[in-house]
């Protein structure tokens, strides 16, 4: 078996958990496909008013969106360590999703694209880049975000398990984009694509 065939199989397998939780005939969410394209990698932070409000932080890597649920959302202050619970890989086209997941379905509630952009991988070991998908399995991810609200370095570090989900911390790296006075989670609540808030989407 070639390395290529092996990795292709691993990628499609990583969406099984995502698909097993959803009914394609009842939810507007994409069932999605994996992506093999290289070049610029996308990131998205989706504000999700589910049973409890949280922010889903997703990085395109290995043909899927590697995902974490961040209850308090990302900070621009390097002193703020934000809990991030690892969730199942999502299809890459989920980055475009904004809408309402119907009552009774998994994750029911409004979702907006709170921030969207591209990122660069900053993780290196021994002078070599560590692929983001490998960093996720190893528990260390460092990226440079080029979003509309979030910019600069962010580090994700696994600190242990929690209730069957891996427990990570999401922290702003100290760099020229760090700003302890900004608090975009509070001051910039709307979708960067439609200008809607989760309340607007829920009412609609």
Tell me how far apart the alpha carbons of residues 97 and 80 are, in angstroms, rounded to a whole number.
28
One residue of 48, 58, 82, 113 binding Mn ion per CB under 5 A = 48
Q: Which is nearer to Mn ion, 29 or 56 (CB)?
A: 56
Tell me how far apart the alpha carbons of residues 191 and 46 are, in angstroms, rounded to a whole number.
9
Start-to-end CA distance of the chain, whole Å, equals: 50
Query: Residues in contact with Mn ion, total (CB under 5 A)?
Result: 2
Q: Which is nearer to Mn ion, 48 or 86 (CB)?
A: 48
- To Mn ion, the closest distance from the beta carbon of 111 in angstroms equals 7
- To Mn ion, the closest distance from the beta carbon of 187 in angstroms equals 22
Q: Which is nearer to Mn ion, 11 or 198 (CB)?
A: 198
> Which among 105, 88, 90 has a CA at the least distance from the CA of 51?
105
Q: Which is nearer to Mn ion, 106 or 144 (CB)?
A: 106
Q: Which is nearer to Mn ion, 142 or 149 (CB)?
A: 149
Query: Hey, is 4 helix, strand or coil?
Result: helix
Region at 73 (left for phi over 0; alpha for psi -120 to 50; beta for the rest): left
Q: Which is nearer to Mn ion, 48 or 158 (CB)?
A: 48
- Interacting span for Mn ion (CB under 5 A) from 40-48, 73-81, 121-129, 167-175: 40-48
Tell me how far apart the alpha carbons of residues 16 and 13 are, in angstroms, rounded to a whole number.
6
- To Mn ion, the closest distance from the beta carbon of 137 in angstroms equals 22
Query: Hey, is 37 helix, strand or coil?
Result: coil
- To Mn ion, the closest distance from the beta carbon of 138 in angstroms equals 24
Tell me how far apart the alpha carbons of residues 26 and 160 are, in angstroms, rounded to a whole number.
35
- To Mn ion, the closest distance from the beta carbon of 52 in angstroms equals 10
139: its two tokens: 């528990």
- Interacting span for Mn ion (CB under 5 A) from 14-22, 42-50, 129-137, 175-183: 42-50
The answer to whether the CB of 64 falls within 8 A of the CB of 90 is yes
- The yes or no reply on residue 56 touching Mn ion (CB under 5 A) is yes
- To Mn ion, the closest distance from the beta carbon of 25 in angstroms equals 21
Dihedral through CA 144, CA 149, CA 155, CA 160, nearest 10? -140
- Tell me which residues touch Mn ion (CB under 5 A): 48, 56
């Amino acid at each position: 078996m070639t390395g290529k065939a092996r990795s292709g199989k691993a990628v499609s397998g990583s969406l099984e958990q995502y698909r097993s939780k959803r009914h394609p005939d009842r939810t507007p969410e994409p069932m999605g496909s994996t992506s093999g394209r290289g070049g610029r990698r996308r990131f998205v932070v989706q504000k999700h008013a589910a049973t409890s409000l949280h922010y889903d932080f997703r990085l395109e890597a290995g043909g899927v969106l590697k995902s974490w649920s961040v209850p308090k959302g990302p900070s621009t202050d390097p002193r703020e360590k934000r809990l991030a619970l690892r969730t199942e890989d999502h299809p890459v086209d989920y980055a475009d999703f904004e809408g309402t997941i119907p009552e009774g379905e998994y994750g029911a509630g409004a979702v907006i694209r709170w921030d969207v952009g591209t990122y660069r991988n900053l993780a290196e070991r021994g002078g070599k880049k560590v692929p983001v998908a490998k960093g996720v399995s190893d528990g260390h991810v460092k990226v440079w975000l080029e979003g509309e609200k979030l910019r600069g370095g962010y580090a994700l570090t696994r600190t242990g398990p929690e209730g069957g989900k891996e427990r990570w911390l999401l922290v702003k790296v100290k760099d020229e984009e760090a700003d302890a006075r900004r608090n975009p989670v509070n001051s910039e609540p709307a979708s960067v694509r439609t200008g809607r808030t989760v309340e607007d989407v829920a009412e609609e």
